[in-house]
Structure 1
Amino acid sequence: MADAKFKDGGEAPLRLLAQEAGDLPVLSALLQDAVLTGADVTYDRRRRRFVALLNRFRWEDREEAARDSRPFERVRSVLTVEDVLSAQVMGIAPGQKDEVLSILSLTWEPQEEGSGRLTLTFAGDGALALQLEALELRLDDVTRPYLAPSGRQPDHGL
């Protein structure tokens, strides 16, 4: 079976920007169950930028795939967070490049003058907290969709 396609050009890769608290639930929903490893994460203090390369489940295609009885898809995406003042990890062993992480949610705690704390919560009680001068996140699909290796959509048993 061949890898999936962006419907032969009828559907474009996602390119989303979040600059307000109201934008974040959309990114959080799209990133739920995205997987990455420690090697896929970079924090550049000098440039004040956090970047993560992830394998994102294509939630936006789930209903259509189920209706058409075709395999579910994932896509490689880049999450970029700008204006990062500091980063803290909780429940994740820094330096473990092979550790597989699965994103549960992104949350924003606003503070004074537009600053705040962005928290990426991972399955298994891990989290990454980024102190931001201002909320500015980008999500860019960087590959064509591919068949989800499990063949299934993520299931949380709810």
Structure 2
Amino acid sequence: MADLKLLALDSDDLAVISAHTQDAVVRVGDMGYAQRDKRFALLMNRYDWEAGTVRNKGVRKRAALHFDRVLSVASAGIDTNAREGVLELLAISFTETDAPAGIVELTFAGGGTVRLEVEVLEARLQDLGAAWAAKAQPQHSL
């Protein structure tokens, strides 16, 4: 399968990126905010849901996600000093506050969140080429 390269400029676009990054694993040290550039970025090992089957445990791919025009970043339930800590990304959402500005929320397993205050929604997801067999397919209880 070809590498992903997606752009989100509205909530519907972001829902597509959220679906492609569900169950991605992220090291705390691989997230950062460049205040001068107004950019929040993170590296992840995303689970490629299109490649996974019952017989095949699937594939993980190295990917980068960044948000531009970020005014501030806040986190809750995440030890930002534990640089080697690993988080599992569950979903990404956008709530408009004063159009076109709003809040992007990255929700992680265990209740951790990262909230980005943005001037306007502008996100990019790109696979970086590295891919490997996943050890297991992520499971979710209903």
**When the two structures are superposed, what TM-score results if normalisation uses the length of structure 2?**
0.95
Q: What is the 5 A alignment of 1:100-115?
A: 100-115=86-101
Q: Distance in 1 between matches of 2:126 and 2:44?
A: 10
Gaps of 5+ in 2: none
Once the two structures are TM-superposed, the CA of residue 71 in structure 1 deviates from its matched residue by: 3.9
Alignment match, 1:27: 17
Once the two structures are TM-superposed, the CA of residue 96 in structure 1 deviates from its matched residue by: 1.3
Q: Distance in 1 between matches of 2:43 and 2:130?
A: 14
2:142 is aligned with 1:153: no
Q: Distance in 2 between matches of 1:134 and 1:13?
A: 26
On the 8 A contact 2:57/2:137 being kept in 1, the answer is no
Q: How many residues align?
A: 142
Alignment match, 1:42: 32
Residues 13-63 of structure 1, C-alpha deviations (whole Å, 9 max, x = no match): 00000001111111111111100111111110000001100000001222x
RMSD value, Cα: 1.1
Alignment match, 2:6: 16
2:102 is aligned with 1:116: yes
On the 8 A contact 1:13/1:144 being kept in 2, the answer is no
* Higher Rg of the two aligned structures: 1
Counterpart of 1:12 in 2: which secondary structure? coil
Q: Distance in 2 between matches of 1:13 and 1:126?
A: 28
On the 8 A contact 1:33/1:56 being kept in 2, the answer is yes
Once the two structures are TM-superposed, the CA of residue 113 in structure 1 deviates from its matched residue by: 2.6
Counterpart of 1:13 in 2: which secondary structure? coil
Whichever structure has more helix as a proportion of its residues is 1
Once the two structures are TM-superposed, the CA of residue 157 in structure 1 deviates from its matched residue by: 2.3
Residues 90-128 of structure 1, C-alpha deviations (whole Å, 9 max, x = no match): 011122101110001101110213000000000011000
Q: Aligned letter for 1:129?
A: R
Alignment match, 1:93: 79
Runs of 4+ in 1 over 4 A off after TM superposition: none
Alignment match, 1:72: 58
Counterpart of 1:114 in 2: which secondary structure? coil
Q: Closer, same or farther in 2 for the Cα pair 1:121/1:56, shift >3 Å?
A: same
Alignment match, 1:7: none
Q: Distance in 2 between matches of 1:60 and 1:117?
A: 29
Gaps of 5+ in 1: 1-10
